[in-house]
Structure 1
Amino acid sequence: MTPQTLAAEATTAEVWALTEGDTLLACMILTPKPDHLYLGKLATAPDHRGRGLARRMITHAEARARALHLPALQLQTRIELTENHATFHRLGFHEIARTAHPGYDRPTSLTFAKPLTPQGDLP
């Protein structure tokens, strides 16, 4: 993504970023849907991975979903990014669908969901 595509996304969705000075550490795009908050383009700078930034971003996405009275988060990831799948499982997501991009006869993406409990309730 470029700054221009992020700016375009910001017209219909929420763009969130973690920075340190002028350095972009992590970012995500949150798009409200009727029954969930879609978490798109979650990314962490390669030299800042393993520091809990994705967890911080997802925790913020959960807070935004609750504020919007949405009961779940959803995201998609490419099927070959198995390290991401493991991370999302550790963060409480579970796989709900497999889809294929046009022209492919096999799944190319996985959809993950994380149901949310209201803030203050015990899981």
Structure 2
Amino acid sequence: MNNITLQRLDGSFHRWSELLDLILASFAYMNGRIDPPSSALALTPKSLEEKAHSEIGYVALDDNNIVGCVFCRTELDTLYIGKLAVLPGAQGKGIGRRLLTSAENEARRLNLSNLRLETRIELTENHRMFAGWGFRKTAESRHAGFDRTTSIEMRKSLV
């Protein structure tokens, strides 16, 4: 884990199946734990490639192995953070924080004053981790067809 580099997803990246494998492995702990299931389960290599063309994405590489990723999209004064994923065996080594820092830098470059993310209500360990990274809970929401809270929104001010 000493050779971690971040690469912006651009036209030179073609390892979409590997990236999908990383996301599915990173989100696997949610299976059977969250309802409705993660939208990551609907991803395909092709949809990831399309996502990278319409959003801002980064992969974290350990030598040439994909160990993390993040996708971001602009919303008014905010950069939305989605699909922040780190390979289970690489977690706890600062890769997620580095990916988040790349998103913060991107937001500042775009003159956006906030980061925003959503996390499932059941994933309280994620709530604590994001709070430790400066995010605060700002809203609750529910997926269509649910009569209970299924997600929380968290924001981090960059000003």
TM-score (norm 1): 0.91
How far 1:116 sits from its partner (Å)?
0.2
| Structure with the higher helix share, 1 or 2 | 2
Q: Which residue of 1 aligns with 2:126?
A: 84
Q: RCO higher in 1 or 2 (8 Å CA, sep ≥ 6)? A: 2
Query: How far apart are the structure 2 equivalents of 1:93 and 1:113?
Result: 5
Query: How far apart are the structure 2 equivalents of 1:52 and 1:21?
Result: 16
Aligned partner letter, 2:141: T
**1:41 and 2:83 matched:** yes
**1:58 and 2:100 matched:** yes
Structure 1: gaps of 5 or more residues:
118-123
How far 1:94 sits from its partner (Å)?
0.2
Aligned partner letter, 1:42: L
TM-score (norm 2): 0.71
Query: How far apart are the structure 2 equivalents of 1:84 and 1:5?
Result: 25
Q: Which residue of 2 aligns with 1:100?
A: 142
**1:31 and 2:91 matched:** no
Aligned 8 A contact 1:6 1:15 in 2: no
How far 1:3 sits from its partner (Å)?
2.5
Query: How far apart are the structure 2 equivalents of 1:57 and 1:63?
Result: 10
**In angstroms, what is the RMSD of aligned CA positions?**
1.0
Q: Tell me the number of residue pairs that the alignment of Structure 1 and Structure 2 aligns.
A: 117
Which runs of structure 1 show a deviation greater than 4 angstroms over 4 or more consecutive aligned residues? Answer: none
How far 1:22 sits from its partner (Å)?
3.4
Deviation digits for residues 28-52 of structure 1, max 9, x if unmatched?
A: 1010111200010101100100001
Aligned partner letter, 2:125: E
Q: Which residue of 2 aligns with 1:72?
A: 114
How far 1:10 sits from its partner (Å)?
1.4
Query: How far apart are the structure 1 equivalents of 2:69 and 2:97?
Result: 12
Query: How far apart are the structure 1 equivalents of 2:61 and 2:98?
Result: 12
How far 1:24 sits from its partner (Å)?
1.3
Q: Secondary structure at the match of 1:11?
A: helix
How far 1:15 sits from its partner (Å)?
1.4
Q: Which residue of 1 aligns with 2:45?
A: 3
Name the stretch that deviates more: 43-52 or 2-11.
2-11
